[in-house]
Amino acid sequence: MGGPKKPEQERCAAILAAAYEIALAEGLDAVTARRVATAAGISTGLVFFHFQSKDGLLEALLGVLLDGTLDALSDSGLERLEPWDRLERMIRVELERLVEYHAAVELIFAFYFSRRDDLFRARIESSFGRYLAAFSPVCREVAVGTRIQGDELAATVVALVQGASIQAIRNPETFDPEAILATLRAVRPA
């Protein structure tokens, strides 16, 4: 396909954006080099040049989806809050992101449940581990002076957010982060 040559990074971003749109609209199996190239306005050869294979393209797409999941948990403004308030804020941000990005979350679940390859599963499992690690320090702080175990609280919080993810995907119109947060506040240690 003719036209001015785009910088390599811009071309990769266009390819991944096209793959994302196709995956959202029609599922992961519909993501082919030919369809992505057409949607991105480039040659099929360029898709292979940048990503080597369909699995390479899907792995890069998964990477983009997973890399964005920890962004909200690393907000430097969180450090100024008391531990419980910080934890609640982190959970709130994650729940609100589920509403905003439920399509991307749905794609992550599609990768996990429909692409059973070790390549994809290992990448997702690693991301879940990083997610747990992001919540663990504040959960340990919240647990100080209580009967709660910090690591168990972190695992529970992550399970809560992951369960909420499924709810947000299944029924985004009725998903209510405030109801979940109100329940969480009800079990807040004194």
For residue 126, which of 101, 106, 108 has the smallest C-alpha distance? 108
Taking the CA atoms of the chain, what radius of gyration do you get in angstroms? 19
Q: What is the pLDDT of residue 1?
A: 47
Residue 163 exposed, middle or buried by CB count within 10 Å (0-12, 13-18, 19+): exposed
Distance CA 32, CA 47 (A): 10
Q: What is the pLDDT of residue 32?
A: 93
Q: How many CB atoms lie within 10 A of CB 139?
A: 24
Tens of pLDDT along the chain (190 residues) come to 455 566 778 889 999 999 999 999 998 899 999 999 999 999 999 999 999 999 899 999 998 888 766 666 667 777 888 999 999 998 988 888 888 887 888 888 888 887 777 778 888 888 888 888 989 999 999 999 888 899 999 999 999 988 888 888 888 888 899 999 998 888 776 6
Q: What is the pLDDT of residue 190?
A: 65
Fold classification of 65-186 (topology level): Tetracycline Repressor; domain 2 (1.10.357)
Q: What is the pLDDT of residue 139?
A: 92
**CB contact at 8 A, 115 and 101:** no
Distance CA 129, CA 77 (A): 23
Q: What residue ranges do the domains of the chain occupy?
A: 8-52, 65-186
Can you give the length of the chain in residues?
190
pLDDT tens, position by position, 44-100:
999 999 999 998 999 999 988 887 666 666 677 778 889 999 999 989 888 888 888
Q: Which residue has the tokens 């080099």?
A: 33
Q: Which residue has the tokens 């509403």?
A: 99
**CB contact at 8 A, 59 and 120:** yes
User: Of the CATH numbers 1.10.10, 3.40.50, 3.30.40, 1.10.8, which one belongs to the domain with range 8-52?
Assistant: 1.10.10
Q: What is the pLDDT of residue 5?
A: 63
In single-letter form, the type of residue at position 127 comes to: S
Residue 91 exposed, middle or buried by CB count within 10 Å (0-12, 13-18, 19+): buried
| 19, 25, 31, 35 alpha-carbon torsion, rounded to 10° | -80
**CB contact at 8 A, 135 and 157:** yes
